[in-house]
Every structure is written in structure tokens, then in C-alpha cells.
Structure 1
Amino acid sequence: MLFAIFSVISLLIATVNATALTFALQPNEKQCFYIFNTKLNSNVGYYFAVQAGGSFDINYYIKAPNGANIVKADKLTHADYIFTADQIGEYEFCLSNEMSTFAEKIVDFEVKVDDDFKASLPEAPKENPAVEGMQESVKSIEQKINQLLSSLNYYKTRNNRNQSTVKSTENRIFWFSIVDLLLMVGISVFQVLVVKYFFQGSRKQMV
């Protein structure tokens, strides 16, 4: 029983890792991803988070196989939702950085059909407490793994954004120091020239 549970956990982790993606979204660029749903009323979960770039925001929309918008939103930093796929066919997920003219965005993206994993579980024989208990344990482990992955994604995003903020602050401090130094040098040179001019004028009056 333990071997079966560990095998199912490994399958869960492999399935989750297979759908995760990190990519760069260039300025004025849109990238779309597709999944093909083969079962009515499947639960489709998706997640994205902008890790770095600009104001950490992008536009996105999801279209059903018939072309209708399931969801559409602008300037979001992250999203983590589940919707019911009530049609069979290809669903389109598009992430857009078209509102940005110079800022590249680094985006984490993940999408999966929850029923893909559940369909691979064997049917429990009727009135078999051991197998039913194992399946309940697997479902509980799946929920905890999903919660753990959500927490890891959240802290990863927070860490990346904090690092980006620190780097941006360091750059601003560096350039402010350079400008401050140049300004001080300029003022010093100006003061020397003014004093020199005054002394030259005094000597002419004495002569």
C-alpha cells in the first residue's frame, strides 16, 4: 500500500512539473498557450505570476473552443484560478505585454486539467476499506501538495520581486551618487573660477 501511495505521489509531482513554464515576455509581445480538453466539465487550473520587469503587470485572456472569452483582465501581477471547462476542444491562454514599450517581463505560467490525474487512478473495488482508505489518503496528499506548491510559488514570486526592487534601488543609488559627485565637482570648479576672476580683477585695480 505504501509503495502504491509513493508511486501516485511521484506521478503527481511529475504531472505538475511537466506543465510549469518560465519565459521572457518581450515588450509589445503576446504569447499564447493551448490545452485540448477531452472531457466535459473538467476542472482546469491555471497560475501565472510576473517575477520581474516593469511594474510586474501583464494583460491576459482565456478563450473557449467556440472563441468566447472565459476571462479577460488587464494589468495583473498574478492569477491563480480554476474554472470548469464545459466544452470539448482547444482552450487558448494568452499573456500579453503589448502595453509596455521597453520593459521585458519574466513570467511563471502553469496550466493543468485536474481530471487528467484523477482519471489515471484505478477504480476502487466496492466495499474494500483498504483501497478506499488509500484513495482518501492520496486525495489528501494531493491537496497538501497543491497547497505547498501554491505557497512555494507565492514565496518565489515575493523573493524575485524583492530582489528586483533591491537591484532597482541599487541602480538608482549608484546613478544618484554619480550625479551628486559630478554636481559637487562642477560647483567646486565654478567656485575656483569665480575666486580666480575676483583676484585677477583686484590685481588690475592695483596696477
Structure 2
Amino acid sequence: MKLIPSRWALAAFLLHSISKTTGSALTTVIGANERLCFYADVDKAGEKIGVQSGGDFDINFDVKDPRDKIILDGRGERQGDYVLTANYVGEYAFCLENDMSTLTGKLIDIDITVESEPRRDPPAKPGQLADQTSALEESIYRLNGMLSSIRRNQRSAHTRERRGYFVVESTQSRIFWYSVLETAMIIGMAM
């Protein structure tokens, strides 16, 4: 029996071997007036760092490079998608702060990704591009970009859905207690 690898398996293998990605998706609760930091280690300069975050309503955050310099700062953000290029090797700090809330914690989704995509150097002449990059490689790069976009959109939709669910739950609770109060007042007036 002759074993022939499928085109899909070959494409999956090439996609996996083209880009090296490490990441961590995390859902956590940040208490009132709490500051929580996450760290990502960058092995070499020029790597891409992506942060997709969202939470219940608003959060403050900052991103610091290995020299402890703030490279990204956000105040009162509800949702975001940020891609940074790591200019220095070392540990990058992603800190979230819930100092606007004095009583309640917030549920936060954060996804920190460090990517390294080895690409060939562009050719000196435009005609040489076909020699260096095959159509399959270009398709794989495009698919990788589209899949990343779909993943970010799903995460964003999930965050919006959870926020909407919270609003509906809160409204239902208010309606219930208003109807209990209204019923008690009607019974009180009838007596």
C-alpha cells in the first residue's frame, strides 16, 4: 500500500513550520483597586507582540519594555487589540489596573502573543519575487492572517456578548424588585 500525504496535511505542516508563536489566553478577575501584571519573554528583537484584551466595561493598562519604559498606555479602555514590535530582548510587562472601581472586581480576558515569522528578504528586483516565494507560501501567509483576524473577532464578540448578558441580568433584577415593590404597594393600598 502506497502512503500519499494529503495536501491539507502538507499545508498544515508548512503553516506550522513557517511561524513560531507562543501565547497565553487568560480570563481573570481583578479586584477593586488592584494592579495585576503579566509578563512575556522576547528572545530576539523584532518579534511581534500582540495583546487582545477586553473586560467588563473599562480597565486601565500599560505595557513596559525590558528597560521599564512605558511603550503603550490606555485609560478607561473597554476593549482593544494592539500589536507591538519588540525592539529589545527581555521581559515585557503587561499591567492591568482596576483603580476606578472601589467595591467590585472585573472579569478580564487578556491574550498575549509573541510571534516570530521568518520571511525571506525581498528581492532587489520585483521580477525575482516569484523565484523566492511560491504561491503556496503566499496562500499560507494569507490564511494565517485571516485566521488570526477571525480569532480576534470571535474574542471580541464573546466579550461583547458577556457585557450584554451582564446588562440584561442587571435589568431583570431591577424589574423583579420594582414589581415586588409595586405589588406590596398595591396590597398596602387595598388594605
| Same fold flag (TM > 0.5) | yes
Q: Which whole-Å CA distance do the structure 1 matches of 2:42 and 2:135 have between them?
A: 30
Q: Which whole-Å CA distance do the structure 1 matches of 2:70 and 2:129 have between them?
A: 44
1:84-130: CA deviations, max 9, x gaps? 21111110001111221122211111111221xx24x89xxx99969
Which amino acid counterpart does residue 113 of structure 1 have in structure 2? Answer: V
Residue 46 of structure 2: aligned partner: 41
Residue 161 of structure 1: aligned partner: 163
Which amino acid counterpart does residue 163 of structure 2 have in structure 1? Answer: R
Uncovered stretches (5+) of structure 2, i.e. residues with no partner: 1-6, 121-127
Residue 65 of structure 2: aligned partner: 64
For the 8 Å contact 2:63–2:71, the answer to whether it is kept is yes
Equivalent residues in 2 for 1:18-33, closer than 5 Å: 18-33=23-38
Q: Which whole-Å CA distance do the structure 1 matches of 2:50 and 2:163 have between them?
A: 24
Q: Which whole-Å CA distance do the structure 1 matches of 2:129 and 2:148 have between them?
A: 29
For the 8 Å contact 2:54–2:78, the answer to whether it is kept is yes
Q: How many residues align?
A: 179
Identity in percent? 28
For the 8 Å contact 2:21–2:115, the answer to whether it is kept is no
State the Cα distance separating 1:48 from its structure 2 match: 0.2
Residue 2 of structure 1: aligned partner: 8
Cα RMSD (Å): 2.9
Which amino acid counterpart does residue 106 of structure 2 have in structure 1? Answer: K
Q: Which whole-Å CA distance do the structure 1 matches of 2:103 and 2:168 have between them?
A: 20
For the 8 Å contact 2:21–2:114, the answer to whether it is kept is no
Q: Which whole-Å CA distance do the structure 1 matches of 2:102 and 2:14 have between them?
A: 46
State the Cα distance separating 1:184 from its structure 2 match: 2.4
State the Cα distance separating 1:11 from its structure 2 match: 7.5
Uncovered stretches (5+) of structure 1, i.e. residues with no partner: 190-207
Residue 197 of structure 1: aligned partner: none
For the 8 Å contact 2:47–2:86, the answer to whether it is kept is yes
For 2:174, what is the secondary structure of its paired residue?
helix
1:123-149: CA deviations, max 9, x gaps? xxx999697333212101101101111
Which amino acid counterpart does residue 48 of structure 2 have in structure 1? Answer: N
Q: TM-score of the superposition, structure 2-length normalised?
A: 0.81
Q: Which whole-Å CA distance do the structure 2 matches of 1:80 and 1:106 have between them?
A: 17
For 2:39, what is the secondary structure of its paired residue?
strand
Greater helix proportion: 1
Equivalent residues in 2 for 1:148-187, closer than 5 Å: 148-187=150-189
For 1:67, what is the secondary structure of its paired residue?
coil
Q: Which whole-Å CA distance do the structure 2 matches of 1:172 and 1:28 have between them?
A: 27
Q: Which whole-Å CA distance do the structure 2 matches of 1:6 and 1:85 have between them?
A: 27
State the Cα distance separating 1:34 from its structure 2 match: 0.4
Which amino acid counterpart does residue 177 of structure 2 have in structure 1? Answer: W
Q: Which whole-Å CA distance do the structure 1 matches of 2:101 and 2:167 have between them?
A: 18
Q: Which whole-Å CA distance do the structure 2 matches of 1:90 and 1:143 have between them?
A: 26
Which segment is superposed worse, 138-147 or 22-31? 22-31
Q: Which whole-Å CA distance do the structure 2 matches of 1:60 and 1:39 have between them?
A: 24
State the Cα distance separating 1:153 from its structure 2 match: 1.3
Which segment is superposed worse, 71-80 or 126-135? 126-135
Greater strand proportion: 2
Residue 91 of structure 2: aligned partner: 90
Q: Which whole-Å CA distance do the structure 1 matches of 2:94 and 2:15 have between them?
A: 28
